[in-house]
Structure 1
């Protein structure tokens, strides 16, 4: 009698297990890349026309160039942790949060998108070259942690404060700031004249700067004469 009950219980359990397996399969599987244009570009890079793209297929890609393909979402790109160079110029991208995990990136081009918030870039401390021209960026404080950055294109945004650039001692290859409502260029004054390529006009630079005078001696009372510079 017990044998029959066990047999019946097992028979009843099998459909439940099968249903559970099917449910887990469909929940766990599915596309990991949300944007069809991004997926098309990645398929071309992988030379993989059909079949589901898996995360393990993406980790070894080091370079990706997707220009003018109307990409809107970067969901899925966070699996491409081996990326060293990424060109996403001239798309419709607003949210770049998925880039924060791509810590091996050295070259990043986000020119001509719809970006306002660049906070995720603060995590990309391997960046050497960054192009964020032609967006809607106001706050560039996340750039202050990019200490090895050598090339920065900020043209045509809404940046008014460039204090974040003050301590970027390696920013010497290129610095483009034209097309922003900047009135105080003092944060880059110390290294302006040794940047290889820049669009800052020297005359405008000095006239626009709101620098206060710097004296060779601190203020106070002195009882003997000295030369003040």
Structure 2
């Protein structure tokens, strides 16, 4: 399937065009300030169809963070593109790669980088199924290296981090929820408040702030 591209400014407008892989893409020879070639790295994202229609401020989640990653990449000998795995053309190994420019987010057909950093945060179930199914096909084909993988639950991560003397002082006080009594004891010992997050949650989904009210009960709110 040809890669379909949309040159977009901040409002998501622009002329559509198609590119059948890298053979029709503009050749890129990104180099560092000292003239050395930069190694490409792909940041995996889940595109928002609302952006193309002008109904979203950014083409994917974490756009500001990804923009900063792209800006920092050349200092480490890298050039970064963001792309949705669903844009990958298996015949030509091309993807629709996003770059942050002075004109806003732009995308063009580029060769799929072999190094991949997973920042897939789909907005809905359909986007999730599309992006993750495409990533699974890419990995089954081979030739791609995923730099990060799935993490265990937060309790296991905290336990692993606490074994590092340099990191341990930076960790927030934390404990697993073991029922109502454990929560009440925690709130009493921690100044009357608690911040709860699902052990397997992400990006704040399901987080809850609890605080003692003047009447002795608990007030709850989403952060």
- Flag the structure with higher strand content: 2
Fold shared, TM-score > 0.5 on shorter chain:
no
TM-score (norm 2): 0.22
TM-score (norm 1): 0.22
Quick check: which has more Rg, 1 or 2? 1
